[in-house]
Amino acid sequence: METTLDHISETLQAQGQPRYRINQVRTAWFTQPNWDSVTTLSKQLRQDLAQQFSWLSFPTVKVFNSPKDSTQKAIITLADGQKVETVNMPNSRDTRTVCVSSQVGCGMGCTFCATGTMGLKRNLTVDEIVDQVRYWRWQASDVPITNVVFMGMGEPLANSDAVKQAINILINDCEIGKTRIVLSTVAFPGSLKRLVLDADFPDVRLAISLHAGTDETRGKIVPSHKRQTIQQIKEGIEAYLAARHNRRHHVTLEYVMLLDVNDMPTEAEALAKTFKHLSHQIKVNLIPWNQTDANLQRSSEQHMIVFQDILEQAGIPTTIRYSKGLDISAACGQLVVKPLS
Ligand code: SAH
Ligand code: SF4
């Protein structure tokens, strides 16, 4: 999969430009906001390149600021008119986390997720993924982006070639450490196995969207679960941990808390039983459900605390994660682009 940067390099090479010139463009590509600012090149060359290659792969970006916190959401209109969203979240200590989308829509159809209702429109290209980070880099450019999470629209492992290449670019050209990249996946059948076998896939952190302790419950809310078992997902996690690192807390289990659907003590007990032996290598994130059009309710505080207690008793570190950006629909699972009415 060739990127715009590859095409630029080929063009410069064909013109007989020296290697350092190509490197100058590469450096500028990840640090400068537009062709005009690439002052290491002659004005003429800049103009020529600008005519052939646009600086960003998408023409339009509309930014929404949260009035409650400093989270920002951007709606990106892609070259073919499709829309995706990306979120910029300043952290407490002068750093930022960017949440990126990997597909337009998603084909997995999880019942509690707004993106799931759109269906899959198409995969994003490598450029379209990386450019979400490049775009945010030039907004508040004095605050470094230290973390990137694949928690926006789409299932990253269903677009794994482009996601893999994008991650490599983030690591090599955007100075994002591989342990500061989180790939969140619903772990559809076969996906973890493929990831483990792919030795070229960088050692990023994994977040597995599990959402249930039993197969019966998971099958109800995660349609892609029908052809697999939680036992198989557990084996996939064990294989990933063994093949990559044994670092503490390397894998997170994500669990969206839905009232009386998956928040019962029996689900917590089943989860604890399956994952207890991995308690020093995993942690659980309980996520209060963010409202969508689905006919579901967020768990009560009481249910969440009981659930957390059961996991903690089994030695599994468990946090309840309140999302940022709720007021601008930037929270996870609300990343659906609503048509203008
Ligand atoms: N497709 C991937 C990544 C995108 S979703 C995945 O499913 O992991 C990112 C996270 O948001 C997942 O853990 C997902 O389960 C969660 N999520 C989806 N809808 C949500 C909602 N309405 N409220 C809270 N979290 C939600
Ligand atoms: Fe897709 Fe993830 Fe939403 Fe499920 S939760 S529909 S996998 S984006």
Tens digit of each residue's pLDDT (9 = 90 or more) over 131-186: 999 999 998 888 999 999 999 999 999 999 999 999 999 999 999 999 999 999 99
Q: What is the pLDDT of residue 333?
A: 55
Q: Which ligand is nearest to the CA of 87?
A: 1
**Cβ atoms 222, 185 nearer than 8 A:** no
Confidence of residue 334 (pLDDT cuts 50, 70, 90): low
- pLDDT higher at 331 or 205: 205
Share of the chain above pLDDT 90, in %: 80
Q: What is the pLDDT of residue 284?
A: 96
Q: What is the pLDDT of residue 146?
A: 95
* Tens-digit pLDDT profile for residues 227-286: 899 999 999 999 999 888 655 558 999 999 999 999 999 999 999 999 999 999 999 999
Q: Which helix (H) or strand (E) holds 269?
A: helix 265-275
The response to whether residue 155 sits with its C-beta less than 6 Å from ligand 2 reads yes
The CATH code of the domain at 60-328 is: 3.20.20.70
Q: What is the mean pLDDT of the chain?
A: 92
**Whole-number Cα distances in Å, 323 to 152, 303, 314, 337:** 13, 18, 25, 19
Whether 325 shows a pLDDT value over 80: the answer reads no
| Fold match, 4-52 / 60-328 | no
Strand, helix or coil for residue 196: helix
Q: What is the pLDDT of residue 323?
A: 65
Whether 113 shows a pLDDT value over 90: the answer reads yes
Cβ neighbours, 10 Å, residue 65: 13
The pTM score is 0.94
Distance 115 CA to ligand 1 centre (A): 9
∠ Cα 157 161 162 (to 5°): 95
* pLDDT (average), residues 311-337: 73
Confidence of residue 341 (pLDDT cuts 50, 70, 90): very low
The response to whether residue 159 sits with its C-beta less than 6 Å from ligand 1 reads no
**Whole-number Cα distances in Å, 329 to 101, 290, 324, 326:** 15, 9, 9, 5
Give, to the nearest 10 degrees, the angle between helix 160-173 and helix 126-137: 40
Q: What is the pLDDT of residue 330?
A: 57
- Amino acid symbol at 31: T
Strand, helix or coil for residue 22: helix
- pLDDT higher at 323 or 88: 88
Ranges assigned E (strand) in 126-201: 145-150, 181-185
Choose which residue among 115, 195, 262, 287 to substitute to test ligand 1 binding: the one with the highest number of ligand atoms within 8 A of its C-beta.
287
* pLDDT (average), residues 64-76: 86
Q: What is the pLDDT of residue 68?
A: 77
What span, in angstroms and rounded, lies between the C-alpha atoms of 59 and 57? 7
What span, in angstroms and rounded, lies between the C-alpha atoms of 230 and 78? 36
Q: Which ligand is nearest to the CA of 256?
A: 1
**Cβ atoms 146, 176 nearer than 8 A:** yes
* Tokens 């940022």 sit on residue: 324
The response to whether residue 116 sits with its C-beta less than 6 Å from ligand 2 reads yes
Choose which residue among 256, 295, 299, 304 to substitute to test ligand 1 binding: the one with the highest number of ligand atoms within 8 A of its C-beta.
256
Strand, helix or coil for residue 155: coil
Q: What are the sequence ranges of the domains in the chain?
A: 4-52, 60-328
Closest-lying ligand 1 atom to the alpha carbon of residue 150: 3
Distance 87 CA to ligand 1 centre (A): 14
The response to whether residue 170 sits with its C-beta less than 6 Å from ligand 2 reads no
Choose which residue among 86, 100, 108, 153 to substitute to test ligand 2 binding: the one with the highest number of ligand atoms within 8 A of its C-beta.
108
Q: Which ligand is nearest to the CA of 221?
A: 2
Q: What is the pLDDT of residue 54?
A: 96
Catalytic residues: 85, 332
**Cβ atoms 251, 241 nearer than 8 A:** yes
Domain 4-52 belongs in CATH node 1.10.150: yes
